Structure 1
């Protein structure tokens, strides 16, 4: 089953948000920082900017408030690209995300994700909810591993995401995700940490994208297909 279609306006909105974020990252349109943005430390070459949205989605704090937050420019650009990717691979009945419930850490280079909300049939729904350990939870982890090197699930199900270039590094969190995805999304109960590349490789062969899952190309393919399977966009059967 394949559910690739998305309304053009949704794609345009997400692409526009990603492009605007990329411009900000290059320094052509960096917003001025205020308050907490000026106080929090930043890595050299990565200015703090103040934002209240990621792509088309409004940022919401876990307590429901909607403050503008200080975030490093490159991290915000990656978050924008990630959310556009998550949305583009979600079922077409879902709107673009309208809320990202999260907390940005003081340095502006990490986020703790609680929920992603979209509209369906004019009602708000959670496409990802930290407390709900389901296929959509694993799918969202896949999307984050596709875009970031540091993705850690905390005991309450929230996910801490650290800034950095995407790619497989061999981190224990990446291996744990790969094993869980093979077992719970792809039905391979025999997957283990020691032999996960073999099992993930079978997944890639099954979907017609044979590659070493520990390579850059293979990791990107494995996380992308796991996202689509977990959100129910494509079954690959």
Structure 2
């Protein structure tokens, strides 16, 4: 494990909360409460305005800081995901301070473009859609951990659709797992027909006895891929 020292008390509390949220996700029952935001009131089923996701300021792509409409369930899932991503990132990083993306008009899907954190006194991109690197795959892993559908869009944006996380064997999940096996775990021979065996080897390296195609195995694989991609663990 590659530890990063000097974590704050609030960061430790964040990690504990996210581990609990991750466990609930693996059991099919993740839930979270977002940090306070300026939210409008709305009727059931109508998008509700938020200017934050968890504690991070929302920047609508092409607009800037703004209030945007989200279905309540999607906003809660995004908040739980962001806490989870942060808790599994290097301890020298702050919690995310800005999330840039675009929700759909109905508020039931969201496209992520940028995550910004602080390193010391400076803002830095923990994820940038146009930057295809380990952090990109790691963030994609974190979204697969929390959502049933994660689509790569032209330009590198990641679009999530609301719903409980689960392994479905979809083309999106297989493409992600294959890329993760090749680019994060070092299994260069992994392909869309034999990715499962390579992913199970990755799970064994991370200390998990589970099949990646199971609910618990998928949750463990996506979490381990997140930590590997962000450099929080090495799994040697």
Q: Which runs of 5+ in 2 are unaligned?
A: 19-30
The answer to whether the aligner puts 1:21 opposite 2:42 as a matched pair is no
User: Which aligned pairs between 1:24-173 and structure 2 lie closer than 5 A?
Assistant: 32-33=41-42, 46-173=45-172
Superposition TM-score, scaled by structure 1 size: 0.87
1:20: Cα distance to partner? 3.3
Look up the match of 1:236.
235
Q: Which runs of 5+ in 1 are unaligned?
A: 24-29, 39-44
Cα deviation, 1:189-225, whole Å, max 9, x if unaligned, reads 1111111111100011111112100100000000000
Q: What secondary structure, in the 3-state scheme, does the structure 2 residue paired with 1:20 have?
A: coil
Cα deviation, 1:146-171, whole Å, max 9, x if unaligned, reads 00011001121011111111011111
Aligned residues: 221
Work out whether residues 4 and 89 of structure 1, in 8 Å CA contact, stay in contact via their aligned partners in 2: no
1:3: Cα distance to partner? 2.4
| Matches of 1:173 and 1:4, distance apart in 2 | 33
Work out whether residues 149 and 161 of structure 2, in 8 Å CA contact, stay in contact via their aligned partners in 1: yes
Kindly report structure 1 stretches of 4+ aligned residues shifted beyond 2 Å: 1-8, 10-16, 18-23, 45-48
Superposition TM-score, scaled by structure 2 size: 0.87
Distance 1:72 1:203, change over 3 A: same
Work out whether residues 22 and 77 of structure 1, in 8 Å CA contact, stay in contact via their aligned partners in 2: no
Work out whether residues 46 and 74 of structure 1, in 8 Å CA contact, stay in contact via their aligned partners in 2: no
| Matches of 2:80 and 2:4, distance apart in 1 | 18
Q: What secondary structure, in the 3-state scheme, does the structure 2 residue paired with 1:70 have?
A: strand
The answer to whether the aligner puts 1:190 opposite 2:199 as a matched pair is no
1:50: Cα distance to partner? 1.2
Q: What secondary structure, in the 3-state scheme, does the structure 2 residue paired with 1:75 have?
A: helix
Q: What secondary structure, in the 3-state scheme, does the structure 1 residue paired with 2:113 have?
A: strand
